[in-house]
Amino acid sequence: MSRIGKKPIAIPEKTTVTFDGRTVTVKGPLGESSRIVPTTVTVEVKDNVATVSARGAGASAMWGTFASHLKNMIKGVNEAYSKKLVVEGIGFKADVKGTNIVFSLGFSHQITVAIPGELKVTADKNIVSVSGIDKELVGRFTSEIRSLKKPEPYKGKGIRYEGEVIRRKQGKKTA
């Protein structure tokens, strides 16, 4: 039995949740989000409360997962998810140009990454801020950016999440 799936999900004011058998759609002040519902799960909306229930045996795995997805969708349309990345290193920088973000990361060339239309990306000095209503998309995009140049353990150069601690190693010793 899913403990997360059992709990009813409160729907805040100015937010509507609709379920039409196959997809669930959440509309709020920041936008609209929709997701296809697995066949093993049903969603019921009554009196500003949404409940997720499992259909049949063996459906409990998706029950809690979809309940978490629904909570994230409701939270996302009310307050945007955001993550910040720190670009660290001499000569390392990031610039937003139109619908692309351009990185100078110590390679012989610049790296250009297309920004998904649903996300807002800003670059101030060495901090890149990514925000949007879809938690998965924000997380995936920031991880793709981080993978361009992961922080190295000797000088800490690279792209890291804000607040992430990089375990540093001692350099080579001279005799």
Mean pLDDT of 60-70: 87
Of 46, 78, 110, at which residue does a domain stop? Answer: 78
Looking at the structure of the chain, the number of domains it has is 2
At 4-26, the pLDDT tens digits run 888 899 999 999 999 987 899 99
- Enter the pTM of the model: 0.88
CA dist 119 and 104 (Å) reads 21
The answer as to whether 174 is a domain residue is no
- Whether residue 60 is predicted with pLDDT greater than 80 in this model: the reply is no
Stronger pLDDT, 142 or 60, i.e. the higher one: 142
131 torsion bin: left (phi>0), alpha (psi -120 to 50), beta (else)? beta
User: Looking at residue 5, what is its pLDDT?
Assistant: 80
Same domain? For 87 and 72 the reply is: no
Mean pLDDT of 47-75: 86
Same domain? For 65 and 106 the reply is: no
Same domain? For 73 and 87 the reply is: no
Same domain? For 51 and 101 the reply is: no
Provide the domain limits for residue 131: 81-161
| CATH code for the domain in which residue 41 is found | 3.90.930.12
Mean pLDDT of 137-154: 95
Same domain? For 87 and 149 the reply is: yes
Same domain? For 86 and 152 the reply is: yes
Mean pLDDT of 66-87: 94
Mean pLDDT of 65-71: 92
The answer as to whether 172 is a domain residue is no
- Whether residue 42 is predicted with pLDDT greater than 60 in this model: the reply is yes
The answer as to whether 168 is a domain residue is no
User: Looking at residue 1, what is its pLDDT?
Assistant: 57
In whole numbers, what is the pLDDT of the chain averaged over residues?
91
Q: Which residue is listed with tokens 């890149």?
A: 128
Same domain? For 21 and 89 the reply is: no
Q: Which residues contact 80 (CB under 8 A, 6 or more apart)?
A: 30, 120, 131, 132, 133
Q: Regarding beta strands 100-104 and 93-97, do their DSSP bridges make them parallel or antiparallel, or are they unpaired? A: antiparallel
Same domain? For 104 and 151 the reply is: yes
Mean pLDDT of 63-73: 91
CA dist 85 and 136 (Å) reads 16
Residue pair 54/2 in contact (Cβ under 8 Å)? The answer is: yes
CA dist 96 and 85 (Å) reads 14
User: Looking at residue 2, what is its pLDDT?
Assistant: 66
- Whether residue 59 is predicted with pLDDT greater than 80 in this model: the reply is no
